[in-house]
Structures are given as C-alpha cells and as structure tokens.
Amino acid sequence: MTDAVPAVFRQVPMPASAGPKDDEPGKGDTDTGTITKTRPKTKRPSLYRVLLLNDDYTPMEFVILVLQDVFNKSREDAMQIMLHVHQKGVGECGVYPYEVAETKVTRVMDTARKNQHPLQCVMEKQ
C-alpha cells in the first residue's frame, strides 16, 4: 500500500446496524447528535401594570378624561378607577407589554405636565 492515508484511517462504509446503539444499557452512551426537537420560537412578552397615583390637586374630572383617552376606558370605568385611586392612593389602569406601558405612562405624564397638574403615573413588572 503506497497511499498517503494509512489503511487504518481510511473510512469504510459501515451498515447502520454496526454503529453504536442508542438507549441500550451497557452499550455505552456515545451519541453526541444535536437535539432537533422543534419548539415555538415565540416568547410571551413580560407584562407591566400601569398605575395611577393619588394627589391632592389634580381635578377628578381631569383624571377621568385621561383614563378615557389614554387607557380607552368607558366613562363609568374611568370614574371607578379614579375613585379607587382617590380613596386608596394607587390604582391599576391596565396591564401591557413593556413598550405599550411605557407609552401610556409618557402620555399621562406629558398631558399632566402640560396642564400643570401633579398627577403621577408609573409602571411595574407584573
């Protein structure tokens, strides 16, 4: 034999039945194959609660209008949420993915500032 590759390293086709046996005790665990089980790639986004904080100066009517405008609440739901915040000090306006929650907080803070009300709105991870 004058080949560059010595005979012991030459690849010889091998019947599948001659390969290592998977999952058989005592046969040795030699299979290093990639796991190919499919899995949905979608991740559910983390959700954030948007909260309104009470203060002594923001008019009730302004809070109701903000809840209708920014959080798409009915007049009745807006009234209930506003009264809850007024009485308890804090209340939930809604639960949203991060960027939606952030936009709503910004809208509330911007409109409060423009109208010179001290209304505060925050978000927290659910």
Q: Is 95 helix (H, G, I), strand (E, B) or coil?
A: strand
Taking CB under 6 A as the criterion, the residue among 67, 70, 78, 82 binding ligand TYC is: 82
By the 8 A CB rule, do 66 and 108 touch? yes
By CB under 6 A, the count of residues binding ligand TYC is: 13
Q: How many other CB atoms are there within 10 angstroms of residue 63's CB atom?
A: 25
Closest CB 59 distance from ligand TYC, rounded Å = 6
Q: Is 58 in the site for ligand TYC (CB under 6 A)?
A: yes
Closest to ligand TYC by CB, 20 vs 59, is: 59
105-120 CB burial, b ≥16 within 10 A, e <16: beebeebbeeeebebb
For position 89 contacting ligand TYC by CB under 6 A, the verdict is no
**Residues binding ligand TYC (CB under 6 A):** 52-56, 58-60, 63, 82, 85-86, 119
